[in-house]
Amino acid sequence: MAFIRANGIVLHYRITGKPGAPVLVFNNSLGSDFRIWQEVAPAFADRFRIVLYDKRGHGLSDAPPAPYTLDEHTEDLLALLDQLGIGSAALLGLSVGGMIAQCAAVRAPERVTALVLCCTAAKIGTPQLWAERIAAVENGGIEPIAENVLQRWFTPDFRETRKDELTGWRNMLVRIPAHGYAGTCAAIRDADLTSDAERIEAPTFCVAGDQDGSTPPDVVRGTSDLIPGAEFEVIDGCGHIPCVEKPAVLTHLIQKHLREAGLV
């Protein structure tokens, strides 16, 4: 385990892969930590320097008082790169991690060499949806909403045939600090990158799960259509967390994009 202070908070991170190689940063979804990438990140270790980290309010990173903003999450990422002496990187973001990656690409385009936006969008959900989610978590913690979240994360087939794994990922979810989860819900609620998407300069690939209950394919495609030159693809038989449910397929698509972006 490694920890570093960046943007005034302590972040939990891990660096693996090839020293001196181009950098690839993985950014997690709401309610998860960087263990969700365990079946994907190692495939890039021979050609990239890999950075995984837990965003504020999640995993082993600090969970300052809520609410949070997308700008704060983005400043955390850029400060982490500064502290690690990393000038530029390809960013791979899932869900809110993809929103953070988009924001970084707009704010610091010179630092983003490529984008992979996984099951995410320029705007996710409605203010009412997030207000209800925040109220539920503030009143009862994550436990009461866990089953609904897992239904959005994973397909019925996964939930039926991989029950032990499902239990493990549920454990990860419910052990996230409630105020860290609610704080990031507020960041998503207040974020709308629609008008910024056309300013993204990095080569971008957007991918959706065909059974994603959080960011359905048409939502992800809508964001892809806003970003100049972005590519889009759907993974069949997949929910909101393809790095867990379909890691081999997602890995292949990421490799293809990074190759086309000239990074492999």
Using pLDDT thresholds of 50, 70 and 90, give the confidence band for residue 161: very high
> Is residue 87 scored above 90 in pLDDT?
yes
CB 239 within 8 A of CB 209: yes
pLDDT single digits (tens) 206-229 = 999 999 999 999 999 999 999 999
Q: Are 238 and 209 in contact (CB under 8 A)?
A: yes
pLDDT of residue 128: 97
> Is the pLDDT at 3 greater than 90, yes or no?
yes
Contact between 102 and 200 under an 8 Å Cβ cutoff? The reply is yes
Assess whether pLDDT exceeds 90 at residue 109.
yes
CA-only gyration radius of the chain, Å: 17
CA–CA gap between residue 90 and residue 92 (Å, rounded): 7
How confident is the model at residue 105, as a pLDDT? 98
Pairing of strands 89-94, 23-27: parallel
Q: Judge whether residue 125 has pLDDT over 90.
A: yes
Provide the 3-class DSSP secondary structure of residue 205. strand
Judged against a pLDDT cut of 90, whether residue 121 lies above it is answered with: yes
First to last CA, the chain: 28
- What pTM value is reported for the model? 0.98
Residue 159: pLDDT over 90: yes
Predicted local distance difference test score (pLDDT) of residue 264: 79
Element (DSSP H or E) covering residue 17? strand 9-17
Q: Place 1 in a pLDDT band, splitting at 50, 70 and 90.
A: confident
Q: How far is CA 218 from CA 4, 114, 115, 208, 233, in A?
A: 38, 22, 19, 9, 11
Q: What is the pLDDT of residue 4?
A: 98
Q: What is the mean pLDDT of the chain?
A: 98
For the stretch 12-33, pLDDT in tens is 999 999 999 999 999 999 999 9
Q: What is the pLDDT of residue 236?
A: 98
Q: Quick one: pLDDT at residue 182?
A: 98
For residue 116, what pLDDT is reported?
98
Name the CATH code of domain 2-260 (choices 3.40.50.2300, 3.40.50.1820, 1.10.940.10, 3.40.50.460). Answer: 3.40.50.1820
Relative orientation angle of helices 178-190 and 96-107, to the nearest 10 degrees: 50
Among the listed residues 100, 72, 97, 68, the one whose alpha carbon sits nearest the alpha carbon of residue 184: 68
Alpha helices in 40-177 (DSSP H): 70-83, 96-107, 127-140, 146-153, 156-161, 163-174
pLDDT of residue 141: 97
The tally of CA atoms less than 13 A away on the side-chain side of residue 117 is: 36
Is residue 2 helix, strand or coil? strand
